[in-house]
Amino acid sequence: MVNVAVLGYGTVGSGVVEVIERNNVEVSGKCGEEVHVKYILDLREFPGDPYEDKVVHDFQVILEDREVSVVCEVMGGIKFAYPYTKQLLEAGKSVCTSNKELVAKHGAELLDIAEKNHCSYLFEASVGGGIPIIRTINHAMTPERIEAVAGILNGTTNYILTKMEQEGTDYAQALKQAQDLGYAERNPQADVEGHDACRKTAILASLMTGRNVDSEKIFTEGITEITTADFAFAKGANMTIKLLGTARLQEDGSVLAMVAPHMIAENHSLAMVNGVFNGIFVTGNMLGDIMLYGHGAGKLPTASAVTADVVDCVRNQGKTLPCHWEQAECRLADVLLTSKRFFVRVKAQGCGAIEEAFPGSERLEVPGMEEKGYFTPVMTEKEFEEKYSALSEFVLGRIRVM
Ligand code: HSE
Q: What is the pLDDT of residue 84?
A: 98
Q: Whose CA is nearest to atom 4 of ligand 1?
A: 297
Whether ligand 1 lies within 6 angstroms of the CB of 128 is answered as: no
Q: What is the pLDDT of residue 214?
A: 98
Q: What is the pLDDT of residue 307?
A: 98
Q: What is the pLDDT of residue 301?
A: 98
Q: What is the pLDDT of residue 97?
A: 98
**Could you give the 3-state DSSP secondary structure of residue 49?**
coil
**Ligand 1 pocket: which of 191, 299, 300 to mutate (most atoms within 8 A of CB):** 191
Q: Whose CA is nearest to atom 1 of ligand 1?
A: 184
CA of 197 to the centre of ligand 1 (A): 8
Q: Which atom of ligand 1 is nearest to the CA of 190?
A: 1
- Please tell me the pTM assigned to this model: 0.97
Spatial separation of the C-alpha atoms in residues 164 and 142, rounded to whole Å: 39
Spatial separation of the C-alpha atoms in residues 6 and 17, rounded to whole Å: 8
CA of 264 to the centre of ligand 1 (A): 22
Bridge partners, 263 (sequence order): 241, 401
Spatial separation of the C-alpha atoms in residues 160 and 169, rounded to whole Å: 8
**% helix, strand, coil for the chain, step of 5:** 40, 25, 35
Q: What is the pLDDT of residue 390?
A: 97
Spatial separation of the C-alpha atoms in residues 37 and 13, rounded to whole Å: 11
* Sequential pLDDT tens for the chain (402 residues): 999 999 999 999 999 999 999 999 999 999 999 999 999 999 999 999 999 999 999 999 999 999 999 999 999 999 999 999 999 999 999 999 999 999 999 999 999 999 999 999 999 999 999 999 999 999 999 999 999 999 999 999 999 999 999 999 989 999 999 999 999 998 999 999 999 999 999 999 999 999 999 999 999 999 999 999 999 999 999 999 999 999 999 999 999 999 999 999 999 999 999 999 999 999 999 999 999 999 999 999 999 999 999 999 999 999 999 999 999 999 999 999 999 999 999 999 999 999 999 999 999 999 999 999 999 999 999 999 999 999 999 999 999 999
- Angle between helix axes 11-22 and 24-31 (nearest 10 degrees) is 70
Q: Give the CA-trace dihedral at 229, 234, 238, 243, to 10 degrees.
A: -130
Q: Which atom of ligand 1 is nearest to the CA of 297?
A: 7
Whether ligand 1 lies within 6 angstroms of the CB of 185 is answered as: yes
